[in-house]
Amino acid sequence: MGIYLVGALLIGCALFLNRRRVLNYILVTVFVLLQWGLTIFAWLHRDKVVLVYFTPDALSVIFLSTLSVISVPAFWHSYIYFNSDREIPRERSIYYAAMVILLAALSAAFLANHIAINWIFVELTTLSASALIYHRRNVRTLEGTWKYLFVCSISIMLVFIGILLLTVAVQEAGFSDLGYAVLAARAGLLNTFWLKLAFLFVFTGFTAKMGLAPMYTAGIDAKDKAPSPAGALFSSVLLMVGFLGIFRVYTIISRTEIFPWAGRILFISGFLSVFVATVYMLRVKNLKRMFAYSSVEHMGLVVLGLAAGGVGYYAAILHIILHSFTKSALFFQVGQVYRIYKSKSIYNVGDYFRFNPAGALVLLFGFFFVTAMPPSGLFISEFLIFSALFAGGHTWLLAAVLLLLTLIIWSFGKNIFKILFIKPVGFDEAVVEKIAPAESLSQFVFLALVVYLGFYPPAVFVDLINHAIGILIK
């Protein structure tokens, strides 16, 4: 663990200082190896405290493995991105340095067993993510970065206020340790008034990272303006860090009498997220933004599952993992779409099957998968979430959500089929770049993984999720 943190920091600095192409890629490879080393280390040290502040528990092990799996194609597609786009050594080295720091901060935040340590690393993800968003260095990215940085700084501040309020409750209960294990064990002693306030602040703050209403706005611009490989990371693993922050506090709350109240907050936020996503999905004209709003919708569903309880806990975690794979596959594909059409607007792209059949298949399957049609693993998790809602007696909420989802599927399908089959207006076919089908390979692997994990989940995986939610159910 110590080796990993120091190593990642050193690699980040070395990447930043070094402008040589070969050396950059060697360093990135070393980092990927280090990342996988950490993942194996976490598997071997399940539930053991490492370096005082880190404990790889079940949830962090799943999330860390997901992160490591996604990081490999993320670097691979970044490599393709730099090969096909203009490549300025300075920008490239900053890009890779920021990505390495982002991944390292995310891993550390996953493993942290102390709420303040988690907070520090989440803060670090904001800073490194803004470097990635600003990569193209034009007015639009400047605007996106500014908004992301500002909204995230404020929400991180809100999380910090939440932690302070939690500290008040903790001190009144007569102890001073803010480790998650201690907090959960003594949750019954905490003053519910402070706990409620703390939960509100922490939850609102982390919604910026997770992409839920009310603070979802920052993430949309970020995913739109960052290069697609970075966008894939933002819409998969960065959401997980927000979920983790909320989940950890929620487990503490689950041992107190205000648990139903916290559940209601989650219901409100989840429903609002689905609603907002629907409204924007109906009129959005930018491919990347459409995917970003679809993430907002899925995060809303995850939170609804978490609030519904019962089988919903399992479904929520399954859903967020499967969503990460699906959405990152789609974002990697957007990079190829952009290379062909030089545009992300739905007006300017079309007839994609002719120019890049492999990529078009990814988009088509991705559409079926992300709207949770049966071959997709998301179908299982979404179905479980809905049955949890039904079992919990939230029939009206379920009906409303289903109605909104229908609208989302309609508008999503309309746009995707336009891209795939209808000829674009005023598009010069002579200058189309040929894209090798092999570049879509990673996306097919991810989509296959979604089917596999959804329909034939390996025993280890199910066991990990059950352990992760074991702390929720008394």
Residues that bind another protein (CB under 8 A): 116-117, 119-120, 123, 127, 130, 139-140, 142-147, 149-150, 153-154, 156-157, 160-161, 164, 167-168, 171-172, 176, 191, 193, 221, 224-225, 280, 283-286, 289
Token output for 1: 């663990």
User: At 30, phi and psi to the nearest 5?
Assistant: -60, -40
User: CB of residue 440 vs another protein: minimum separation in angstroms?
Assistant: 28
Q: Which residue, 161 or 400, is less far from another protein as judged by CB?
A: 161
User: CB of residue 305 vs another protein: minimum separation in angstroms?
Assistant: 27
* Pair 318, 326: CB distance under 8 Å: no
User: CB of residue 221 vs another protein: minimum separation in angstroms?
Assistant: 5
In whole angstroms, how far apart are CA 405 and each of 210, 244, 374, 408, 410? Answer: 19, 25, 15, 5, 9
Distance from C-alpha of 428 to C-alpha of 435, rounded to nearest angstrom: 17
Q: Which residues pair with 50 in a beta bridge?
A: 54
* Pair 352, 334: CB distance under 8 Å: no
User: CB of residue 153 vs another protein: minimum separation in angstroms?
Assistant: 5
User: CB of residue 140 vs another protein: minimum separation in angstroms?
Assistant: 6
Distance from C-alpha of 348 to C-alpha of 93, rounded to nearest angstrom: 32
Q: Which residue, 57 or 224, is less far from another protein as judged by CB?
A: 224
Q: Which residue, 83 or 176, is less far from another protein as judged by CB?
A: 176
Q: Which residue, 285 or 354, is less far from another protein as judged by CB?
A: 285
* Pair 310, 391: CB distance under 8 Å: yes
Q: Which residue, 87 or 172, is less far from another protein as judged by CB?
A: 172
User: CB of residue 126 vs another protein: minimum separation in angstroms?
Assistant: 8
Distance from C-alpha of 157 to C-alpha of 142, rounded to nearest angstrom: 22
In whole angstroms, how far apart are CA 224 and each of 14, 220, 320, 335, 460? Answer: 28, 6, 20, 11, 36
User: CB of residue 48 vs another protein: minimum separation in angstroms?
Assistant: 21
Q: Which residue, 198 or 239, is less far from another protein as judged by CB?
A: 198
Q: Which residue, 61 or 287, is less far from another protein as judged by CB?
A: 287
User: CB of residue 155 vs another protein: minimum separation in angstroms?
Assistant: 11
Look at residues 34, 7, 147, 28 and name the one whose alpha carbon lies nearest to residue 92: 28
Neighbouring C-alpha atoms within 13 Å toward the C-beta of 362: 26
User: CB of residue 216 vs another protein: minimum separation in angstroms?
Assistant: 13
Buried b (16+ CB within 10 A) or exposed e, 175-199: eeebbbebbbebbeebbeebbbbbb
Q: Which residue, 133 or 315, is less far from another protein as judged by CB?
A: 133
Look at residues 67, 108, 217 and name the one whose alpha carbon lies nearest to residue 152: 217
Distance from C-alpha of 325 to C-alpha of 293, rounded to nearest angstrom: 16
User: At 18, phi and psi to the nearest 5?
Assistant: -105, 135
Q: Which residue, 153 or 348, is less far from another protein as judged by CB?
A: 153
User: CB of residue 137 vs another protein: minimum separation in angstroms?
Assistant: 9
Exposure of 436 by Cβ count < 10 A (0-12 exposed, 13-18 middle, 19+ buried)?
A: exposed
Distance from C-alpha of 161 to C-alpha of 177, rounded to nearest angstrom: 17
Token output for 270: 């989840």
One-letter amino acid identity for 327?
K
* Pair 65, 39: CB distance under 8 Å: yes
Q: Which residue, 149 or 419, is less far from another protein as judged by CB?
A: 149
Q: Which residue, 186 or 467, is less far from another protein as judged by CB?
A: 186
User: CB of residue 371 vs another protein: minimum separation in angstroms?
Assistant: 20
Q: Which helix (H) or strand (E) holds 10?
A: helix 2-17
User: CB of residue 116 vs another protein: minimum separation in angstroms?
Assistant: 5
* Pair 297, 408: CB distance under 8 Å: yes
**Entry field: residues in the chain:** 474
Q: Which residue, 125 or 440, is less far from another protein as judged by CB?
A: 125
